[in-house]
């Protein structure tokens, strides 16, 4: 159990880490947005799978996954094959072209990270990887285990609950 100020600091870091992600994404070719690269990376790492599993791995809604999958499929980077176990699903598999693109992207990622993290030891990177892995596990496990049993901003009954309810049209932008 950590102190409150540590949690607040972690929260700020989670907000700020997007900058690192964006910086890495700038090296991607225009026809391959970050989400497409993520799809290819996961299919290469875990092998062929359904869209629903990809959706879980990326922790995004199926509808979003569907669009990402359509994009990489249109470019010929993945193939969609009939699933013998379920006619509603298709098995997504990376193609040789997709693998080749991913190889090139990985090379770029490696060069960029080797540049930015030139003074990080092998152990430093391993430690960060382990902690990020654990972070996602901690969140993922809680979410699947207790979807609505989470501490929220709903303590004050006078205010509208949270931003996960479907009436976001309340906020005037």
What is the C-alpha separation between 80 and 123, in angstroms, rounded? 39
* Residue 79 near residue 93, CB atoms below 8 Å: yes
Min dist CB 10 to DNA, Å, is 17
Shorter beta-carbon distance to its own copies: residue 95 or 106: 106
Give the one residue of 10, 14, 17, 64 binding DNA; rule: CB under 7 A: 64
3-state class (DSSP) for residue 55:
helix
Q: Binders of DNA among 21-50, rule CB under 7 A?
A: 22, 30, 33-36, 50
Pair of tokens at residue 97:
């072209």
Q: Binders of DNA among 128-167, rule CB under 7 A?
A: 164, 166
Q: Pick from DNA, its own copies, none: which does 94 bind, CB < 5 to 8 A by kind?
A: none
**Could you please report the per-residue DSSP string of 7-40?**
HHHHHHHHHHHHHHHHHHHTTS-TTS-HHHHHHH
Q: Which stretch binds DNA (CB under 7 A): 61-69, 94-102, 127-135, 154-162?
A: 61-69
Q: Pick from DNA, its own copies, none: which does 70 bind, CB < 5 to 8 A by kind?
A: DNA
**Tokens 């770029």 belong to residue:** 108
- Tell me the CB-side half-sphere exposure of residue 1, using CA atoms within 13 A: 0
Q: Binders of DNA among 84-123, rule CB under 7 A?
A: 86-90
Pair of tokens at residue 31:
């026809």
Binding site for DNA (CB under 7 A): 18, 22, 30, 33-36, 50-52, 55, 58, 60-70, 80, 83, 86-90, 164, 166, 168-169, 171, 173
């Amino acid at each position: 159990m950590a102190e409150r100020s540590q949690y607040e600091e972690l929260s700020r870091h989670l907000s700020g880490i997007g900058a690192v992600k964006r910086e890495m994404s700038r090296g991607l070719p225009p026809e391959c947005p970050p989400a497409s690269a993520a799809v290819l990376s996961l299919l290469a790492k875990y092998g062929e799978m359904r869209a629903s599993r990809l959706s879980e791995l990326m922790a995004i809604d199926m509808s979003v996954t569907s669009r990402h999958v359509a994009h990489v499929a249109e470019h010929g980077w993945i193939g969609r094959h009939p699933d013998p176990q379920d006619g509603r699903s298709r098995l997504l598999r990376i193609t040789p072209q997709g693998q080749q693109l991913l190889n090139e992207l990985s090379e770029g990622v490696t060069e960029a990270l080797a540049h930015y993290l030139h003074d990080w030891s092998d152990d430093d990177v391993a430690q960060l990887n382990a902690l990020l892995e654990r972070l996602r596990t901690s969140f993922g496990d809680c979410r699947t285990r207790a979807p609505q049993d989470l501490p929220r901003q709903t303590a004050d009954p006078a205010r509208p609950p949270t931003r996960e309810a479907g009436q976001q049209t309340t906020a005037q932008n």
